[in-house]
Structure 1
Amino acid sequence: MATIPTLIYPESDENIIPQLISWSLAPDADLFDVADHCAALVSVLVETDDSETAIALCERLLQALRKLRELCDVDLPPYLVALLIMGEKTHSCVPDCWQDTLTQVDYALALVQAVMSGELPANVAKELTGLLHDMVWLLAEFVKEPRVVAH
């Protein structure tokens, strides 16, 4: 499993933004790593008021979501499979109609592109950014949900 670098939190949360924008995914990042990376990006994006910073974060989020989409079509490595069958299967954090990970990723990609377009009224862009945040966090939780009850 790839190691996610630890972000350094200096005296101000605003100093995390350059680190996050320059933070690149390891080539061997797995599904969980990429989902966590997406969640980190969107968490900062939802709090960002500067349009230039928001665009940079959106561009990084698009890259990460595209990587996540690629990984959805790849067989999971054994260590992730083991994590997914450990523990008890509980109710999913997403509705039954969203059980396809690719659909969720595609929704998130569309939201990022809408937010980046610059064509939306400011209040609509803010609301869609909030929806994007929630969608990505649900997605990050969903990919880590136990799928099979261990016997």
Structure 2
Amino acid sequence: MNENRKPNIVLILNDDMGFSDLGCYGGEVHTPNLDRLAAGGLRFTQFYNTARCCPSRASMLTGLNPHQTGVGHMMSDDGLEGYRGDLNDRCITIADAVRSEGYGAYMSGKWHISRHTGPDGPKHSWPCQRGFDEYYGIITGAANFWKPNTLTRNNTRIQHDELP
């Protein structure tokens, strides 16, 4: 590899999957594409999650304890500093960090670390305001696969009638 060339970084978070579900970890599920990525990359052998998707995602994106990010539980504001249900402005994301080193940062998928989900509401904790150059996915958690109600491109909600 060219010594001056920075490596690509692909970070994948898959909800509701155990580590041993992937073929590269000895699982029975056939996952050839993920196995190929794992063969040429870094695989976690120890990672703690909170057993909930929002705090785990906030931790992975920031490297902090979920309570330090403001996402200590789910997306409701419980009136306590670590439980605001919104990625706070005192943490940086991995996207912020890699962009400062000249990388582009792109995200696709479920964001689910902001209680502000309305198309006309605050967006300070949405992906494009938290370091990502481009974003395509759902801002909330669970969604209807065929008609995701918060499908968003960057900061713009995609209406159901615009879907293919």
The TM-score with structure 1 as length reference comes to 0.28
Q: Which has the higher contact order (CA 8 A, sep 6+)?
A: 1
Kindly name which structure, 1 or 2, has the bigger radius of gyration based on alpha carbons: 2
The TM-score with structure 2 as length reference comes to 0.27
